[in-house]
């Protein structure tokens, strides 16, 4: 749990929901991918987003009952990995976060979808094959939501300047909110 002091010296308490790649879907395949860690028998679960991928990697959930009403200080942290030890072309990637919140017993309407882009993220050089760079991309949500709202979060890879030709994999998404 995280704490933060707000402008009038109230202490805000943050909580998180964390979703691994197994909680996400892309509507086109039946399951996520795995990336082997070194020569071991250990694998990292993730959704591969190769260059030119137009799929949306989505998850849905219910906003927790202890979420503060009308929260504007919520954030989403997207965890990604890359292995560019084979030196593919390009050194940047970009992703988009889409979010949608709908009150209980209301209509889920695509017109209420909000999107934020994170562009031209520098790809780090991996030290060797099957050794991965970890990225945490933070998004601030402008959405209003209430406890028990339907929530949809979706990640997509979008074109970047000097676009990295290798795959980027989503490993997890964290939804961080202020609780009551």
What token pair was written down for 149? 């709202």
Better pLDDT: 11 or 136: 136
List the one residue out of 157, 155, 153, 158 whose CA is nearest residue 141: 153
The Cβ of residue 140 has, within 10 Å, a number of other Cβ atoms equal to 11
Asked if pLDDT for residue 6 goes beyond 80, the answer is: no
Greatest CA span in the chain, whole angstroms? 53
State the distance between the two ends of the chain, measured CA to CA, in whole angstroms.
Answer: 13
List the one residue out of 92, 89, 84 whose CA is nearest residue 126: 84
Better pLDDT: 4 or 52: 52
Number of domains in the chain: 1
- 36 within domain boundaries: yes
51-99, pLDDT tens digit by residue? 888 899 999 999 999 988 766 678 999 999 987 666 678 889 999 999 9
- 86 within domain boundaries: yes
CATH number at residue 77: 2.60.120.260
- 7 within domain boundaries: no
- 152 within domain boundaries: yes
List the domain range (segments joined by +) for residue 171. Answer: 17-179
Cβ-contact 66, 108 below 8 angstroms = no
If you average pLDDT over every residue of the chain, what do you get?
86
* pLDDT at residue 73 in the model: 77
Asked if pLDDT for residue 175 goes beyond 70, the answer is: yes
């Amino acid at each position: 749990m995280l704490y933060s002091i707000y402008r009038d010296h109230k202490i805000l308490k943050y909580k998180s929901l964390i979703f691994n790649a197994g909680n996400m879907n892309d509507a086109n395949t039946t399951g996520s991918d795995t990336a082997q860690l070194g020569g071991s028998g250990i694998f990292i679960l993730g959704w591969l987003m190769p260059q030119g991928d137009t799929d949306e990697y989505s998850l849905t959930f219910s906003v927790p009952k202890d979420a503060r009403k009308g929260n504007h200080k919520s954030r989403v942290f997207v965890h990604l990995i890359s292995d560019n030890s084979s030196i593919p072309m390009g050194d940047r990637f970009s992703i988009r976060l889409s979010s949608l919140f709908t009150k209980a017993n209301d209509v889920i309407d695509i017109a209420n979808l909000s999107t934020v882009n994170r562009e031209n993220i520098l790809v780090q050089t991996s030290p060797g094959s099957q050794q991965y760079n970890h990225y945490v991309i933070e998004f601030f949500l402008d959405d209003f939501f209430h406890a028990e709202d339907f929530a949809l979060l979706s990640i997509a890879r979008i074109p970047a300047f000097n676009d990295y030709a290798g795959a980027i994999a989503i490993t997890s998404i964290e939804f961080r909110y202020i609780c009551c």
